[in-house]
Amino acid sequence: MPERLITLPGPGHTDALGALVARLLRPGDALLLSGPMGAGKSAFARALLRALSGDPALEVPSPTFTLVQTYDTALGPVAHFDLWRLGDAYELEELGWDDARQGIVLVEWAERLDELTPSPALELDLSLDAHGGRTARLVWDDRALALPSLPDVATP
Amino acid sequence: MTQGGPQISSALETRRSGAIGAPVLAIESSCDDTACAILDADGRVLAERVHTQREHDAFGGVVPEIAARAHLAALPGLVEATLRDAGLSAPDLGAIAASTGPGLIGGLIVGSGVGKGMALALGLPFIAVNHIEAHALSPRLPGVVQGGAPFPYLLLLVSGGHCQCIAVEGVGRYRKLGGTIDDAAGEAFDKVAKMLGLGWPGGPAIEALAREGRDDVHPLPRPLLGRPGCDFSFSGLKTAVAQRLAPYGAGALPRRDAADLAASFQTCVADVMVDRAAHALDLLPEATTLVVAGGVAANGAIRARLMALASERGLPFAAPPLRLCTDNAVMVGWAAIETMRAAAGLGRWPFDDTAVRPRPRWPLAEMAERFDVVR
């Protein structure tokens, strides 16, 4: 699977990446986000959902406590999962994982999916350095190559 | 058979209209815990039970009991036990209430399904309660706030799952003045605690460690501080803590450094909270009380700062006890009682919410529709 390494100097770049990936999505896609706390998984998810819904002010609360939030978008339903609190992957089935897979799933802490890990999928691993910079390692089908480079974004 | 029909239906009519003075049974199942409570018509708690799995997750912050199946397994026995505790049997009840949103859909379906089934079988009205509305009205439970929190008041709801400023102007009349645009405050505590290698829940762990540290060693951002309105953001603060921790790598974090970071983080959250609450009070100048509900209100440092703010503004400060701030059925029962009273006052009682479907999202602003309140 093609792989891209993308440098994200500031939070605006994480948002821009979310919006760019949103343009390439198709119904049934699975997006698996990993990386430590504070690396920008939720920020990426928020930007992507806002782009998909066409609403730049769309409320995208952290799904940590509700475990999953569902959004209606032009590409059908998108289920935004956060597996941080999850004990076992089997609990996902109780959260409607199978139904959610009919649409797009966007999963934070995807490393906890274990044997439920969908394939093929977009895998995005975010890392954070001590100076606030981030790196995104993106593995996807041919769309990884179709992803344009990030537009210039003002860094605060 | 033909004689029985009309008699039964007229008995149901009597029950449905005469229910307002009788006890209310309430069910809460919108997240991890399954809870049931019975309140008399004045809001006194006759019995209360919570089924929780929290004892299993002292480590890791994992909540295994998320399954609708678990609510379903617990609820019938819980309802029976609560009735027994209250010394009542089902026919003594006057109404059944359940939280029908917002929350995890599986639990909501189970809780409201059981509630509706009971209501139908007993010929009682069913009251659909908005879980956030129940939090918002909880300070009005008899005995919680001296003077009873008259409308309008400002509610700062700050817990693991919620973080918002709500103008509570009457039953069914709520205005969300602001809320978090990313993480909830309690969530930030839990996650920062995890990063510092502390246990769960993170709030008490950070508060304890912060006492050993200095809050001026690590400059951390105060997200949205001084900005207009009263929205919150904690994601950037969490990231800033992560950046501070990055140089330590995977090695053990010296306790002194962890304590300084915990203290800095806590002061940051307190600063933001006070700033946002002050803005919210500016937006609701007629507020009678500053009410802070939710697990984060149990943090002594934050609580003291918010009390100081209330006193600066000449307002009483109220924080309902923690057992009323976590998910519980008492507040659901109380919200149902307030709703029934308000409906009766408007000549709209009895009504029945059997047709209301569970909703994962249910904005508070829509509660006014129930009474067609003209704003």
Q: CATH number, domain at B283?
A: 3.30.420.40
Query: Does B1 reside within a domain?
Result: no
Say yes or no: B199 and B53 in one domain.
Answer: no
Selecting from B68, B194, B235 the residue whose C-beta is nearest the C-beta of A43 gives: B235
Of the pLDDT bands very low, low, confident and very high (cuts 50, 70, 90), residue B19 is low
Establish if B183 touches chain A: CB-CB under 8 angstroms.
Answer: yes
Which pLDDT score is estimated for A87? 73
Give the pLDDT band of residue A153 (cuts 50, 70, 90): low
Same domain membership, residue B311 and residue B174: yes
Tokens representing residue A71 in the block: 């959004």
* pLDDT category of residue B8 using cuts at 50, 70 and 90: very low
CB-based contact B190:B200 (threshold 8 Å): yes
Chain B closest-CA separation from residue A63 CA (Å): 9
B83-99 pLDDT tens trace: 999 999 999 999 999 99
pLDDT of residue B53: 58
A87/B194 CB distance under 8 A: no
Q: Check whether residue B222 and residue B81 sit in a common domain.
A: no
Which one of B31, B69, B195 has the shortest CB-CB distance to A37? B195
Interhelix angle B185-195/B235-245, nearest 10 degrees: 10
Annotated binding site of B for substrate: 157-161, 190, 203, 207, 299
Query: How confident is the model over B154-182, as a mean pLDDT?
Result: 93
| Residue B76 one-letter amino acid | P
Average pLDDT rounded to a whole number, residues B141-151: 89
High-pLDDT (> 90) share of chain B, %: 60
Statement to judge: residues B161 and B126 lie in one domain? no
Whole-model pTM: value is 0.83
What band does B122 get if pLDDT is binned at 50, 70 and 90? very high
**CA B193 to chain centroid:** 22
CA distance B8 to B192: 59
Check if the beta carbon of residue B340 is closer than 8 Å to that of residue B312. Answer: no
Helices B185-195 and B202-210 cross at an angle (nearest 10°) of 70
Query: Is position B243 within any domain?
Result: yes
CB contact under 8 A, A65 and B66: no
In the predicted model, is pLDDT for residue A133 greater than 90? no
* Residue B109 forms contact with A (CB below 8 Å): no
CB pairs under 8 A between A and B: 90
Do B55 and B63 meet the contact criterion of CB atoms below 8 Å apart? no
What's the pLDDT score for residue B5? Answer: 40
- Which residues of chain A neighbour B243 with C-beta distances below 8 Å? 38, 128-132
What is d(CA B127, CA B280) in angstroms, rounded to the nearest whole number? 31
In chain B, which residues have their Cβ closer than 8 Å to the Cβ of A61? Answer: 180, 182, 184
What's the average model confidence in pLDDT over B326-355? Answer: 90
Are the beta carbons of A91 and B66 closer than 8 angstroms? yes
Whether B180 has its CB under 8 Å from any CB of chain A: the answer is: yes
Compute the mean pLDDT over every residue in chain B, rounded to the nearest whole number: 87
Residue B102, in any domain of the structure: yes
B69/A131 touch (CB, cutoff 8 Å), yes or no:
no
Confidence at residue A4, expressed as pLDDT on a 0 to 100 scale:
94
What count of Cα atoms within 13 Å lies in the side-chain half-sphere of residue A90? Answer: 3
Taken in order B12, B14, B17, B20, is the CA torsion positive or negative? negative
Is B236's Cβ below 8 Å from some Cβ in A?
Answer: yes
% residues pLDDT > 70 (chain A): 97
- Is B158 part of any domain? yes
Q: What integer is the mean pLDDT of B57-85?
A: 72
- Give the DSSP H or E segment for B338: helix B330-345
Neighbour-count burial of B9, counting CB atoms closer than 10 A to its CB (0-12 exposed, 13-18 middle, 19+ buried): exposed
Q: Are A103 and A76 in contact (CB under 8 A)?
A: yes
Query: Stretch B259-265: mean pLDDT, rounded?
Result: 96
Cβ B57 vs Cβ B84: under 8 Å: no
A131 contacts B64? CB cut-off 8 A: no
Domain that holds residue B40: 10-138+325-371
How far off is chain A from B192, nearest CA to CA, in Å? 9
- pLDDT tens, position by position, B266-309: 999 999 999 999 999 999 999 999 999 988 988 999 999 999 99
Q: Which pLDDT band holds residue B206 (cuts at 50, 70, 90)?
A: very high
Of residues B326 and B233, more confidently modeled: B233
* B169 and B106, same domain (yes or no): no
Could you tell me the domains of chain A? 11-131 (3.40.50.300)
Residue B256, number of CB atoms within 10 A of its CB: 12
Q: How confident is the model at residue B371 (pLDDT cuts 50, 70, 90)?
A: confident
Judgement on whether residues B314 and B167 belong to the same structural domain of the protein: yes
Percentage of chain B modeled with pLDDT above 70: 90
User: Are B236 and A11 in contact (CB < 8 Å)?
Assistant: yes
Residue B145 included in any domain: no
Partner-chain contact B242 A129, CB within 8 Å: no
pLDDT at B6 over 60: no
> How far, CA to CA in Å, does B296 sit from each of A7, B207, B270?
36, 11, 10
Q: Which of A74-83, B60-69, B195-204, B239-248 reaches the highest mean pLDDT?
A: A74-83
Q: Is B63's CB within 8 Å of A85's CB?
A: yes
pLDDT at B54: 53
Instruction: Give me the number of domains chain B comprises.
Output: 2
Q: Do B306 and B364 have their domain in common?
A: no
Q: Is residue B4 part of a domain?
A: no
Pair B216, B264 in one domain: yes
- Please enumerate in sequence order all residues whose Cβ is within 8 A of that of A101, keeping only pairs 6 or more positions apart, or say none: A28, A30, A118
Residues of chain A in contact with residue B184, where contact means CB-CB under 8 angstroms, are: 61-62, 64-65
The span from the CA of B157 to the CA of B139, in Å, is: 11
Same domain for B303 and B189: yes
**Is pLDDT larger for residue B334 or for residue A57?**
B334
Q: Per this entry, what is the length of chain A?
A: 156
| Predicted confidence (pLDDT) at residue B134 exceeds the cutoff of 70 | yes
Looking only at the bridges linking them, the beta strands covering A30-34 and A122-128 are parallel
Q: Do B161 and A65 touch (CB under 8 A)?
A: yes
Structure tokens at A83: 């597996």
Within-domain flag for B2: no
Which of B301, B319, B337 represents a domain boundary (last residue)?
Answer: B319
User: Residue for token digits 């909501």?
Assistant: B108
**Is the residue at B230 inside a domain?**
yes
Alpha carbons within 13 angstroms on the beta-carbon side of residue A92 total 26
Alpha helix (H) residue ranges in A10-79: 11-24, 41-53
Q: Which residues of B are annotated as a binding site for Fe cation?
A: 131, 135, 327
Are the C-beta atoms of residues A101 and B77 closer than 8 Å to each other? no
